[in-house]
Structure 1
Amino acid sequence: MDSRLRPSEMLCWGTLGSVRPFPNFQPERDVVDLQAALEQKDINSLVRILTNRSSAQRQTLARDYQTHTQKELKAGLKKVLSGDLEALMLGLMMTPEQFEAHRLRLAMAGVGTDEETLLEILCMRTPQQLSDINAVYNAEYKRDLEKDLISETSGDFTKLLVALLKKEYRPGPLEPDVQVLSEELNSKKPTAGPWIQILTSRSPDHLRKVLIDMEAERNRPVAEIIEKRFGGVFSADFRLGLITLLCCIENPHLYLAQRIQNMKGSVLQGVLVSHCEEDLLAVRVAFKTCTGTSLYTTLQKQFKGDLQQALLAICCAED
């Protein structure tokens, strides 16, 4: 293991990540191999090396490569890679915070807004992670993330996104939260405020208990009730946001597994890169449960060549 990595940068082997720190990591040797692979346009070797190193190890390689060659590794990758494989490898070369900030920027750049990617990141990430992502976004793009969210969305949906960005988990009694949200479910004129206030200010564990109590009374998922009852009350984007948030609270790994089922390139890459060192093993289990096929086998069938090699390396193994 590279002694220059801080303990906080080293992934413990007991986590649910599929990508782990490479044993006997030797950055000097990797740098030489990467330089040769770039010169020879040996894409297979580039993929093999970079997908088998942890994020922290790849950051070390980027620094050492620039010191050794006076060139940026990312610039070299851009010259020899293209398309989805280029996007995937460049994503791997970012820090986790940079990658999520990058995804947020892409979701709001150009014509139209990718609301689902905004929701995925803002719903899934902890307050501390979002604080770090926000700081990187502002620094990297010289833009204010909150202002961008406000300019790209509207109404209650904007309020929900901003509340998620600023969420802080504060303790609160269970019964009052259940009562407030239950009253909203039964109301002829429900409002967005209580949903936003409670669902963005309590811990996921607390909110799961709230939803369990609410669903026990109705024998139906709260998200299903909202989708059917509030179609003409809440705007489509706010309804999507509320249902996504509820799904992330109840079963975040199932939500991610369902999100990548269609194998859409940008969505698939986003989830795999974002979660490969955190909880992709749990997403793999959920994927097989809801599709009947392992993620590894699905990737083998859907992709080919160097892109397939890279995706399979991130996925890591068959289930």
Structure 2
Amino acid sequence: MDPQSFKDMCWGTLGTVRPFSNFHPEQDVMEIQAALEKKDSGTLVRILTNRNNAQRQEIAKLFEEKTQKDLAAGVKKALSGDLGTLLQELLMLPVQYEAHRLQQAMAGLGTDEQALMESLCTRSGKQLQEISAAYKQLYKKELEKELKGETSGDFAKLVIALLNKENVAGVVQRDIEALSASLSGKKADVEPWINILTSRDTDHLNKVLMGLELESGQMVDDIVVKRFLGDFQLGLKILVQCIQSPDIYLAKRLTTMKTPIVQGIMVSHAEEDLLSIRVAYLKLRGTSLYTDLQKHFKGEHLQALLGICVSED
């Protein structure tokens, strides 16, 4: 797949990783070849974290032409552990990486509902269509079918609605009234929440949620916790947070400092909006993401993460 076909996802004005201005792919390939032979992780980190994804794709293509070998496979052979995984992730096309993250959330025993919701809630309908196509290409399976098999009940309905989300015109006051009415019975009706929150644009939904808070005298988060249960409550809570402020939600996820979460968010958002997430992180923690990474990671793995984070705030 052409890297440019997903450029709306892999480039944004608030990304930390920008195109390397003095880019010479032939020189990079020569250095990478030598580094792989010596298992020189420092050189691999310096180059791969200091190029944007389109440049990495160019390097990988030239590497294969020169060596008849796959660069990601070479990295996997040369480096193990979290660092090896991170550098392999950086070599994926953004759309492939998002498909990979969803597959990982469903792999093994149990499903990581938070990881699923993070991907589904922070991507547009158009992006999710492209991710679904990449998922089928990579795993020879339909993403929607896989999600249905890994989820159940009202949570499954929410997940599938998010996967197929599209912007449908709505009337703010009518949507507020529908959500309010859904809470009037002994058991809250999930359908209006799924239908409205997965089919309107963000500006519209923010007005609806603010209107509901004014009308009810409660924060929407509190309403969700009081009136819904289980996985659906978790999923709806994440969706509401991502509507109101995806940067804050992702920053909260980063505060866990768990390697899969940190790598997932940083690689996924490096060329899109990681600067905004860094600002939200600083407000939440009182310390910068750059500083906290240094407290929790070490060695070349730390240097790779700092290379993506880029600088202090």
Q: What aligned pairs does 1:8-23 form with structure 2 within 5 A after superposition?
A: 9=7, 15-23=13-21
CA 1:283–1:149 in 2, change beyond 3 Å: closer, same or farther? Answer: same
CA 1:241–1:10 in 2, change beyond 3 Å: closer, same or farther? Answer: closer
User: Deviations 1:40-90 (Å, cap 9, x if unpaired)?
Assistant: 211100000000000111111111100011111111101111111111111
User: Deviations 1:183-205 (Å, cap 9, x if unpaired)?
Assistant: 22343221111100000000111
Quote the Cα distance in structure 2 between the aligned partners of 1:103 and 1:224. Answer: 29
C-alpha deviation, 1:173, in angstroms: 1.2
> Is the contact between residue 174 and residue 210 of structure 1 (CA under 8 Å) also seen in structure 2?
yes
CA 1:154–1:11 in 2, change beyond 3 Å: closer, same or farther? Answer: closer
Show structure 2 runs of 5+ residues with no match. none
Quote the Cα distance in structure 1 between the aligned partners of 2:243 and 2:48. Answer: 33
> Is the contact between residue 10 and residue 56 of structure 1 (CA under 8 Å) also seen in structure 2?
no
2:90 to 92, 110, 113: 92
Quote the Cα distance in structure 2 between the aligned partners of 1:106 and 1:256. Answer: 18
Quote the sequence identity (%): 54
C-alpha deviation, 1:219, in angstroms: 4.2
1:304 to 298, 302, 309: 298
1:63 to 54, 61, 64: 61
1:284 to 278, 292, 304: 278
User: Deviations 1:283-319 (Å, cap 9, x if unpaired)?
Assistant: 0000010111100000011111000000001001000
Quote the Cα distance in structure 2 between the aligned partners of 1:45 and 1:154. Answer: 46
Letter in 1 for 2:214: A
2:259 paired with 1:265: yes
1:119 aligned partner: 117
Count of residues paired in the alignment? 312
For the residue of structure 2 that corresponds to 1:188, the secondary structure is coil
Letter in 1 for 2:116: L
Calculate the TM-score normalised by the size of structure 2. 0.96
Calculate the TM-score normalised by the size of structure 1. 0.94
C-alpha deviation, 1:180, in angstroms: 0.6
C-alpha deviation, 1:213, in angstroms: 1.2
> Is the contact between residue 10 and residue 271 of structure 2 (CA under 8 Å) also seen in structure 1?
no
Quote the Cα distance in structure 2 between the aligned partners of 1:176 and 1:270. Answer: 38
2:70 aligned partner: 72
> Is the contact between residue 18 and residue 315 of structure 1 (CA under 8 Å) also seen in structure 2?
yes
1:138 to 136, 151, 160: 136
C-alpha deviation, 1:5, in angstroms: 8.1
Runs of 4+ in 1 over 6 A off after TM superposition: 10-14
2:122 paired with 1:128: no
> Is the contact between residue 11 and residue 20 of structure 1 (CA under 8 Å) also seen in structure 2?
no
Quote the Cα distance in structure 2 between the aligned partners of 1:219 and 1:268. Answer: 35
